[in-house]
Structure 1
Amino acid sequence: MQRREILKLISATTLLAGTNLAAKSEPSAQYPLLLNYNENAIGMSESSKRAISQSLSIGSRYPDAQQEKLTEQIATAFKLAPENVGIGSGSSQNIQSIILALAQRAKSQGLPIQLIAPNPTFNYAERYAKSVGVPVVLVGLKDDLSFDIEAMKKAAAGFNGLSVYYVCNPNNPTAMLTPSSVLNEWIKRESDKFFLVDEAYAELVNDPSFISAISLLQEKVKNLAVVRTFSKLYALAGQRVGYCLSSAENIEEFNKFLSFDNANLAGLVAASAVFADEEFKSYSLKSINLSRQIVTEALDKLGLSYADSQANFIFHKVGADTREYAKNMKARGIYVGRPFAPFFNYNRLSLGTPEQMKEFVKVLFEFRKQGLV
C-alpha cells in the first residue's frame, strides 16, 4: 500500500470513529483504547445506521419479515436454501443451540456424548457443554500454536458415543488458520463425528488457499454446522446477530433450542443492510489489514514474535507475564486482551483503527525503553 493511500485511510478511519476521542488523541483513563474484545473499531456502517433509523416506525411489530429477508440473503450468498440457515442472537447463541440439540440427540439415542476442543480457543462451546453435563476434553496446542489434530482424533477414537469437535477457524486467541485442505478432509473422513466449525473471523482471512467449511454444506455433508457472526467485519457486535449454516434437518433440530423471535428488529435490518454493502466491507477489511501491518512492523522491530494473524487481532509475545503487561497498558489508557493459559507470555491484541494502532505502537516502544517488554 502506497504512503498516500495509507494517509487517506488513516484520515478516513478517524472520521468514522466519530466521537471516540481515543482515535484522535493519546489514550487516557477517560478515553481509553479498547483493544481487548476483537470489536470493529471503525464503527457501524452508514447503511446500517440508516436501516435502524428507518425501522423505528415499525418498532412495535415483530420482525418476522426482516428475519426472513436476512435468512434469504445469507442463503443466496452461500448457494444454500433458506432452510439451511438459522439466525441467532450473535453466533454464541447458535453455538449454544447446537450443543443443546446434540446433547438431546445423544440422550434420545441412549448414547454418551463428549465435546473435544483445542486449548486455548473461544470457550463458549465448552461452557455450554458443561452447563448440561456434557464432558469436555481439552487438547493443548502444538508448539507452533496450531491445533494438535492427531491428539483430538485420539480423544474421539476410543469413545463409544457421539463425539463433537469444536473448531474455531481462524482460532481465537491465536488468529491462526487451520488449512482448509486438512480441516475439510478431516470432516469428510470422520462422518460419524459431528463438527461445529466457528468461522467468526472467516471474512478477514487473507490466505488465498482458504476454503470455507461452508463448501462442504454445498456438497450436502451432514455432520457439520458452521457458525458466523455480524460482530466482526460488519461492525455490529452490539446488535447481536449471528447465524448457523447446516443441513435442513440439523437446522430444524437446532432451532428447537432457540427462543421465538430471538433476533431484534434493529439488529436484523442493520445486518441486512451491511451484508449488501460491498463498499463498507471492502473499507472495513482494508482498515483492519493496515492496522495489522502497523503492529506487525513494530513487533518485528522489537523482536517480539507473533502468530500468523488471519483475523482482527494479533497473538504476540510480550517478554513478560501478560497479566503484568495488561496492567501496565491499562495504566496508560489501553485495554488489551486477557490472559490465555498456558501462554502467559503472550497477549491477544485486538486491532483498532490505523490511527489507534499508531498510538499503541508509541506506547509499546516506550515500554521497551523501560524494560517492560
Structure 2
Amino acid sequence: MQNNKFLELNANENSLGMSASAKQAITESLGEGFRYPDNPRNALISKISSIHDVSENQISLGNGSTENIRATLQMLQNKALKEGRQFQMVIPVPTFDCAAMYANAIGVPVVKIPVTAENYDLDFDELQKTADEFDGISLFYICNPNNPTGIITATEKLKTWISNAPDNHYFLLDQAYMDYVSDPSFESAIEWVKQGLSGNLVVIHTFSKLCALAGMRVGYAISNPQTIENIEAFMSMDNTNLSGAVAAIATLNDAEFLALSLRTTNQSRQMIETVLDELGLCYLPSQSNFIFYEIKGDLKTYIDRMRDHDIKVGREFPPVTGFNRLTLGRPDEMAVFVKTLKLFREKGWV
C-alpha cells in the first residue's frame, strides 16, 4: 500500500482514479475469475481495432505496454542471432528507461544520444550516425511525447526520418501520452503503420495514463501483421488479466470519464504553468500529464525538501540537469504543490 501521507506526484499516474464504469465492470466480472481471459481479451482487441481502424492481427496486447517493449526487443535480438548479425538499441536521453533496462538485462548494447541543448529534442544527426556506423540491426526507441521532457518531436521530420531508413533500422515508438497532445501538428505513428510507411515500425500505447488503469497493467502494440506475429512469439500467454481487460473496455466506452480525465489534467497544467511563470521558472511546453520545469539550486536537495513537505516529485534525469519532472495530479493536489513551491521561494530555495 502507498503511504497516503504523501502527494504522489512522481510516477505519472492519473490520480483522478479509475472510472466508476471500470470499477463496475471489474466487480461484475469477478464471477468469471475462474476462467481464462480469452473472451475479454478478444473483445478488447476488437475495440482497439475499431478505434484505430486497423486489423485485429495488427494488435498485440501487453501486460502493460512495457511487456510490448520487452517482446519487441527480444524479437529483434532473436532475429539478429538467427542471421548472425550484431544488435544494438539506440535511445535519446533522457527518456523512459524501461527499454534500456530490458536491453541491459539480456546483454543488448544500449547507445545513449543526448537530446539537443537548444530545445531538448531528438538529435537526429547523432542518432542516425550511430546506426549508420553499426554493422548490424539497430532498434531506435523513441518516446513521443517524450518522458521526462513532455515535448513532441516535429511530425514531418520524424516521419521522413523513419520512411527513409534502411532495412536494418527498426523503430519502437512509445506513445504512452498521445491522448494529452493538443498540438495540431502532431500525427500518431499509428497512422504511419496504416499507410505502410515502414515495415520496421512498432507503435505502443498504454491504458495507464488517461484511462487511469496503471495498476491493471494493460497496453498494446500496433504494427504490420507479420511483425505482430513475430512479437507475439515472445509475449506471455493470457497476459492480459480479466479485470484489466474489462476495465479497459469499460473506460474506452466511457466518453464522459475520458473527457473529464483530459480536462482535469489540462486544468492542473494551467495551474502549474501560472505559478512557474509567476516565479520566473522556465519549463518545457508539456504535451503530457507531467511538466518538466527548472529548479534554481541543487536538485537532490529540492527533491528531499519536497519530500519533507510530504510531496514526492520526480527523480533526476541525466544528462539534463537543473530540471524536475512533476506529475500533473488533481487540481486540489496541485494547489498544495503551488503553496509549497511559493513557500520554497520565500525561503530562497527555488
Letter in 2 for 1:67: R
Kindly state the Cα deviation for residue 356 of structure 1 after the two structures are TM-superposed: 0.9
Change in CA separation of 1:56 and 1:352 when aligned onto 2, cut-off 3 Å? same
**Which TM-score applies when normalising by structure 2?**
0.97
1: CA distance, partners of 2:229 / 2:298: 46
Give the aligned partner of residue 266 of structure 1.
243
Kindly state the Cα deviation for residue 344 of structure 1 after the two structures are TM-superposed: 3.1
Give the aligned partner of residue 285 of structure 2.
308
Which residue among 133, 152, 158 is the counterpart of 1:183? 158
Matched, 1:69 2:37: no
SS state of the match for residue 66, structure 1? helix
Aligned 8 A contact 1:90 1:229 in 2: yes
Matched, 1:80 2:54: yes
SS state of the match for residue 130, structure 2? helix
Give the aligned partner of residue 153 of structure 1.
128
Give the aligned partner of residue 194 of structure 1.
170
SS state of the match for residue 43, structure 1? coil
Matched, 1:139 2:113: yes
2: CA distance, partners of 1:203 / 1:134: 31
Kindly state the Cα deviation for residue 343 of structure 1 after the two structures are TM-superposed: 2.5
Aligned 8 A contact 1:130 1:136 in 2: yes
Matched, 1:253 2:209: no
SS state of the match for residue 117, structure 1? strand
Letter in 2 for 1:200: A
**Following superposition of structure 1 onto structure 2, how do residues 76-155 of structure 1 map, counting pairs within 5 Å?**
76-143=50-117, 144-155=119-130
SS state of the match for residue 311, structure 1? coil
Give the aligned partner of residue 36 of structure 1.
10
* 1:123-144 C-alpha deviation (Å, 9 max, x unpaired): 1111111222111110011112
**Following superposition of structure 1 onto structure 2, how do residues 11-22 of structure 1 map, counting pairs within 5 Å?**
none
Letter in 1 for 2:100: E
- The answer for unaligned runs of 5 or more in structure 1 is 1-19, 21-28
Which residue among 314, 325, 340 is the counterpart of 1:348? 325
Aligned 8 A contact 1:323 1:344 in 2: no
SS state of the match for residue 287, structure 1? helix
Kindly state the Cα deviation for residue 342 of structure 1 after the two structures are TM-superposed: 2.3
2: CA distance, partners of 1:344 / 1:328: 18
SS state of the match for residue 44, structure 1? coil
Give the aligned partner of residue 23 of structure 1.
none
Which residue among 315, 325, 331 is the counterpart of 1:338? 315
1: CA distance, partners of 2:166 / 2:8: 42
Kindly state the Cα deviation for residue 148 of structure 1 after the two structures are TM-superposed: 0.8
Q: Give me the identity figure in percent.
A: 43
SS state of the match for residue 159, structure 1? coil
SS state of the match for residue 200, structure 1? coil
**Which TM-score applies when normalising by structure 1?**
0.91
Kindly state the Cα deviation for residue 191 of structure 1 after the two structures are TM-superposed: 4.1
1: CA distance, partners of 2:194 / 2:142: 19
Change in CA separation of 1:264 and 1:299 when aligned onto 2, cut-off 3 Å? same
Aligned 8 A contact 1:191 1:223 in 2: no
Q: CA RMSD in A?
A: 1.1
Letter in 1 for 2:159: N
Deviates more, 1:143-152 or 1:226-235: 143-152
Aligned 8 A contact 1:336 1:349 in 2: yes
Q: How many residues align?
A: 346
Q: Would you identify which runs of 4 or more consecutive aligned residues in structure 1 move more than 3 Å? A: none
SS state of the match for residue 270, structure 2? helix
Letter in 1 for 2:43: K
- The answer for unaligned runs of 5 or more in structure 2 is none
SS state of the match for residue 76, structure 1? helix
